[in-house]
Structures are given as C-alpha cells and as structure tokens.
Amino acid sequence: MPDTIIGQPIDRIDGKAKVTGAARYSGDRRAEHPAFGVIVTSTIGRGTITKIDIKAAEQAPGVVLVMSHENAPAQAPFKQEGEDRHARPKPQLAEARIHYHGEPVALVVADTFEQATAAARLVEVSYQAEAGLYELREGRRLAYPPSKMPNGKADSKVGDLERGLAEGAARIDATYTTPYQSHNPMEPPASLAFWSGDQLTIYCSAQLVDSAQKSIAATLNIPADNVELVSEFVGGGFGGKLSIYGDAILAALAARQLKRPVKVTLTRQQMFSVTTHRASTIQRVRLAASRDGTLTAIAHEVVSQSARMDEYVETAAVSTRAMYAAPNRLTTHRVVPLDLPVADSMRAPGDAVGQLALEQAMDELAYKLDIDPVELRIRNEPTQDPEKGVPFSTRALVACLQTGAEKFGWEQRPRVPGTLKDGQWLVGLGMAAAIRVNLRRPAAAKVRMDEDRRVTVEMDMTDIGTGSYTIFAQVAAETLDLPIESVTVKLGHSSYPDTPGSGGSFGAASCCSAVQQACLELRKKVDAGRGPGNVQAEATSEPGDAFKKFSQHSYGAHFAEVAIDSTTGEVRLRRMLGVFDAGRILNPKTARSQLIGGMIWGVSSALHEQAVVDPRYGSFVNHDLAGYHVPVHADIPAVEAIMLAGFDDKSNPLGSKGVGELGICGAGAAVANAVYNACGVRVRDYPFTPDKILSSILRPNVAQRR
C-alpha cells in the first residue's frame, strides 16, 4: 500500500527536547523541599543480618531518616504467583535475610544528596554469612524444568531424535556458553515520590507503566487508583526497567513517613545487583544432515541461571523451534537456582543468546558438509512452522539471506579458513540468520481534537528511545488527514489509557493499532457533525486469533567481516550488514536506529560484554563502565541495515512487525563465524576476548574442545 506520513523517515518529534535538555527524565524531576535517599547494599551473597548499627548515620549532618529491616513500614510479602510478574509486590528491607550480594539493606535520607551519600558510609552491618552457590556449572546438578514458561512449554519433541541423528551423514554436537550481561542504559533508575493525603505521585523510570503502578500499589497495600505514576521519558531500558526496584519503593515509603518529597537514584554500581541482568547459559546443540545439507535432526538443550529467590528461565531454544525444517526435533530448558541477583528479560530474551549457539552450530555443519553457509540455510527453509504445524503469516528469510549475500559481496568469502591475510591481520567473513517472534498485546488510546483541529493522543505507553512519540504522531496524522505538526502525543502517565508498555517488540504494533482505531472513531464523530471542537474518542485494539492460526516472526540475515591480529588475538570488526524482514516499516529512520543498535549489541555479545562473578562472594566484580566492556566508536566501523518492503496483515492493521529486538538476534553469531573463517579455530565460549582467540591460534585443539 502507498505510504504517506506513515512510512516516512520523519525526525523524532521529541528530539529537540532531548538535545536541549527540555525533556525531563525521572532523575531530573524537582519538587519543593525534597530529601534525598541513598541505598546501602549487602556485602555478602547469602546469609542473615545479625546487627545493623545506624546511630552514627542518624547523627550525621542533614540526615532525616535511616531505614532498615528493623524499622521499615509493613509491606506486602513477595510472591511469584500472578500472570504479570512485573506487577507483583516488591517489598524492600522486609527481613534480615540476605538473598544476594548487593541487596538493599538500608536507606539513608538527608536534606542533600551529598549528606545522604556521606552518612550511608556510616551504616555498619554485621552478618552471619552462609556458603552460597554462585557458579552455573557447579550448580547444574540442581537444574530443574521451569515452573512456568513465558512463551510455550519448557520442552518440545517431534519425531525420533536419536533416529534422526543416526541418519545424518554429518553431525554436530557442541556446547556453547554465554555470560551474564548487565543492561547499563545511560539513565540509571531514579524515583521522586511525594504524597498528598493518601494519594501517591511518583516519577520513575518504567518501561511498563501499568505494571509499575500495580507493583507499587501492591507493595504498599494501597489501591492502584491511589498511585499516579509518571514516566514520560526513559533513558534506555532494554528490559532493565520492566520491573520496579528499590529506588521506587523506598522513595515512596520514605516520602510517606517524612511527609515531604524524596528522591532516590541508583548508582551505576548498584545497577548490577539492585536491577536485573541477562542470565548466563550453557547450551548443547546437536545437528544432523544428509550429504545435500537437508537436516534430519535438531536438538537444542539449554541450562540457565535463575535467582534462588525468584525463578526466571532464559528461553534460548524457543526460536529454534521455528527456524529450520527437520523431521526429528528436541528442545529443552532447565534452570539452576543460584544465590545471585534476579535474572530477567534483556533485549530479545532467549533469542539473542540462543541464536549465538544455533547459528554457530549451523556454520560448523556447513563447513563439515562443504556447503556454503547461506545455501545450507536456504535448503532447510520450512514451508510451515515445523513444530506448531501452522502456516507462517509472512516469511522472507530467504530474501534476507540472498539480498544480504549479494549486497555484502559474500562470494568473496575465503572457502578455506585462515587463508586471507592483510599483513599481520587474519581476515574472515561470517554470516548468520535471525528470527524474532512477533507479538501483540491489547492496548487503548484516547484522542481528542480542539477547535483549531489540533489533536492530542494520550496513552500510558512509554518511549525508551525507540521513537514511540514519533510513530504515534505519524499514525494519528495520517488517519485524520492532518499534518504531523498538528498532533501532540502524551505518554507515560498511569492515568492515561492502558497499554502493554515498551517490551517484547510489541509496543509499536499494539499501540499504533489502538491509536489508529481511536482516530477512526474520532473521525466518525467529526464527519457526523460533532466537531471539530473538543471532540474525543477512545478505543482498544485486541490482537485477535491470528496469532494462534499463524506463526508470526520477524527475520534477518547478518554478514560480518573481521580481522584478527595474529600477534595479540585482538579482533576488529571491519564492516557489517543486516537485511531484515519486519513487515511494513512505520518510520525507516527510527527503525534503522533500532536495528543497527541491536547489531552493535550483537558485536558486543560476541567480542566484549561479560559480567564476571566472583565465585567466593557472589558479586559482579566488574560493576562499572570501566570494567564492564561495551563497544565504543572505535570498535564499530561501517554498520548498515537494509529493510525489505513488506506488509503482514495477520500481525496488525498497519502490517508492521517488531524491530526493537530483531537486530541483536543472530548478529553475534555472524561475528563468531567470521572469526572462525579468519583463523580456522572454533571458540564456543562467549565473548571472544583476545586471550581466548590467542590461545585458539596457538593451541587449536584445546580451543576446539571449549
């Protein structure tokens, strides 16, 4: 269908506010006569507080409150039950028990942030430490099937796996490991809370406004209607702001007790424990294929870390179920309870790490069969969902592979690894396919038009840097046949109509559908002679049954060129291309930004990123941006994303699919496969740091067994 305003690369309508400082993030919010809270965290990984001495802190200059488990107000207990895990009670300082290193044990509130910071250092805590379990490999003996999976069953089985493996002329049986990762958005979680009678207003960093409102209300044992939560601008989320943390709950508790506004901000170091992280995984992938490359069997078995106190499963094998055709199949998920901070969703949960394993295994199989890696994937393209047995809504993976190969110059890839050199650099090319489930949730929107035909859109949806403000304005403008300058979008207030929020790449599809429907209702009223002039409409959009009748995904293909210093083992990305099928692209500029951002994160997953656990204490030792390595400009040269034209009418009325998480899927595997093509040895332990690469080059047989 022809694009008018929708589909145009319009600049972010909130861009000027952000670059001039007019956009107010939670930490920027001000109030009259505020106090400032600083959280004190535990220094053991498991045990009990035997004594907490707050006297010196209470007597420090400017201190107005010191809160610990001994004097914290009553709160609802934590529970794992409930459909929405992000809406559960999140009590703080509720008991003497320590569940993980870095858990909040006290809050110090003072007239200034500096006074609170100084006084927090005066809190003395004594513990009865217990032996904790902190290593995934050591804890594998405790692995168990998760009690609940967010998308389907923990295990799936089709056909006879052992027979399929035996029938294969070539087989792969390899284990891949992925590390812990920390979200580390530019904006740390921050909350400003104040009360008016029994009504709480709280500004906080939240991806899911409705869930956050319910979580705070449930924790404080008050009606949800008594909480007005505001999250107009979020400085990055990636899943790290799906839940509410200690900053929000403690700010609300302290503000109620002090009867004055209280602001609490997490430090960068506290973000590694007080918020969530991506779980580490151990993944065994087995593949078997006939001589022509046709897969006869696929098995993907995943073990991942979960906090002992709060179960979470990394669904790393779920995307494998829809990726390639094979008559004999097995996927399993197991969790290992460790005494570590809570793991939860991070950008493309499950898929991002699962495809690091599957797509490297496919590359290994291609080399064993002496078949081009692109061609191997094309030969195993399914005609319908291999496990659900339903048709795909749309599927253009082959087009992504073929377009990417042509645009990247894939024919230049060295057939024999380790043979292309540029001085002391070993050069290689690699590729990987990508898949990400397409989701949609119920969403509502309110639209009103004033006498000047200016339109205001209201939703509790958030913008975490994805361009939500802009695409909603585009949909409203086109539906109402107005210039985009006539549309104002208001987001992030819990008093606005409910949406699923930002997460799972379902935000655009869900909320744009609601905006379009509300605008159509408004247009009916205007055409009937009821406007313009303060006329409004509200509508809810539901996903319907198309998600049961069709298998819905977005797709991609990544191509990467790397160079390896044969002396130091340093890996440098030289160029990277991603080609993507995500239905109708609502705004090519914001979509491209999301896709290349995900690709860069994939490079980081392959080469840089790892939160390291001290096995003695259960702490993340590199808990700052000095020790936790992410790519900088010098690490990322030419990265480009191509979006294929498409329209998926089974996804939503606008024909779009999610892009926010698609870009990271498969990206790291393309880099890993390029590393093999460059040096001729396999490293299966992510990330590929120089020490692993160098030992691989010097001792290839050792590296192959890792």
**pLDDT tens-digit profile of 257-284?**
999 999 999 999 999 999 999 999 999 9
Residue 561's DSSP bridge partners are: 429, 575
- pLDDT of res. 534: 85
Say whether pLDDT at 704 is over 80: no
How far, CA to CA in Å, does 138 sit from each of 176, 301, 309?
Answer: 16, 17, 18
58 conformational bin, left if phi > 0, alpha if psi -120 to 50, beta if neither: alpha
Over the stretch 336-357, which tens digit does the pLDDT of each residue have? 999 999 999 999 999 999 999 9
Q: How far apart are CA 466 and CA 594, in angstroms?
A: 7
- pLDDT of res. 298: 98
Q: Which of 228, 248, 230, 114 is nearest to 188 (CA)?
A: 248
Give ∠ CA 621-626-632 in degrees, rounded to 5.
130
Question: Residue 39: is it exposed, middle or buried by C-beta count within 10 angstroms (0-12/13-18/19+)?
Answer: buried
Q: Which of 387, 388, 391, 369 is nearest to 379 (CA)?
A: 369
Q: Which of 191, 194, 192 is nearest to 255 (CA)?
A: 194
> Helix (H, G, I), strand (E, B), or coil: what is residue 206?
coil
Long-range contacts of 543-548 (CB under 8 A, 24+ apart): 543/440, 543/441, 543/442, 543/510, 543/652, 546/393, 546/650, 546/651, 547/439, 547/440, 548/390
> Helix (H, G, I), strand (E, B), or coil: what is residue 650?
coil
Question: Residue 478: is it exposed, middle or buried by C-beta count within 10 angstroms (0-12/13-18/19+)?
Answer: buried
Residue 110: φ, ψ to 5°: -140, 175
Q: What is the DSSP string of 15-51?
A: HHHHHHT-S--GGG---SS-EEEEEEE-SSSSEEEEE
- pLDDT of res. 150: 85
Say whether pLDDT at 373 is over 50: yes
Say whether pLDDT at 252 is over 70: yes
**Inter-residue contact 209 to 462 (CB < 8 Å):** yes
How would you classify the pairing of strands 425-437 and 443-449? unpaired
What average pLDDT score do residues 676-685 get? 95
Q: Which domains does the chain have, with CATH numbers?
A: 15-23+441-542 (3.30.365.10), 31-130+185-267 (3.30.365.10), 142-181+277-438+549-704 (3.30.365.10)
- pLDDT of res. 700: 62
What DSSP element (H or E) covers 694? helix 690-698
Q: How far apart are CA 5 and CA 474, in angstroms?
A: 6
How would you classify the pairing of strands 328-338 and 295-307? parallel
Over the stretch 453-501, which tens digit does the pLDDT of each residue have? 999 999 999 999 999 999 999 999 999 999 999 999 999 999 999 999 9
How crowded is residue 129: how many other Cβ atoms within 10 Å of its Cβ?
14
Q: How far apart are CA 252 and CA 264, in angstroms?
A: 9
Under the banding of pLDDT at 50, 70 and 90, the label for residue 1 is very low
How crowded is residue 649: how many other Cβ atoms within 10 Å of its Cβ?
13
Q: How far is CA 302 from the centre of its chain?
A: 19
What average pLDDT score do residues 212-232 get? 98
Q: Which of 348, 667, 644 is nearest to 506 (CA)?
A: 348
Q: How far apart are CA 230 and CA 200, in angstroms?
A: 11
Over the stretch 45-98, which tens digit does the pLDDT of each residue have? 999 999 999 999 999 999 999 999 999 999 999 988 888 999 999 999 999 999
228 catalytic? Reply is no
How crowded is residue 226: how many other Cβ atoms within 10 Å of its Cβ?
15
- pLDDT of res. 688: 97
What average pLDDT score do residues 432-436 get? 98
Under the banding of pLDDT at 50, 70 and 90, the label for residue 701 is low
- pLDDT of res. 533: 78
Q: How far apart are CA 107 and CA 36, in angstroms?
A: 10
**Inter-residue contact 136 to 325 (CB < 8 Å):** no
The reported pTM is 0.96
Q: Match 């291309």 to its residue by tokens.
A: 577
Q: Which of 679, 536, 471 is nearest to 11 (CA)?
A: 471
Say whether pLDDT at 10 is over 90: yes
- The conformation of residue 157, written as its DSSP 8-state character, comes to E
Average pLDDT, the chain: 96
How crowded is residue 243: how many other Cβ atoms within 10 Å of its Cβ?
25
Catalytic residue among 364, 478, 561, 661: 661
Residue 559's DSSP bridge partners are: 431, 577
What average pLDDT score do residues 161-181 get? 98
- pLDDT of res. 3: 55
**Inter-residue contact 186 to 235 (CB < 8 Å):** yes
Burial track 365-401 (b if 16+ CB lie within 10 A, e otherwise): bbbebebbbbebbbbbebeebbbbeeebbbbbbbebb
Over the stretch 590-644, which tens digit does the pLDDT of each residue have? 999 999 999 999 999 999 999 999 999 999 999 999 999 999 999 999 899 999 9
Tokens of 575: 């160029």
Say whether pLDDT at 705 is over 50: no
Percentage of the chain lying above the pLDDT 90 cut: 95
How far, CA to CA in Å, does 626 sit from each of 185, 534, 609, 611?
Answer: 15, 53, 12, 12
**Inter-residue contact 552 to 657 (CB < 8 Å):** yes
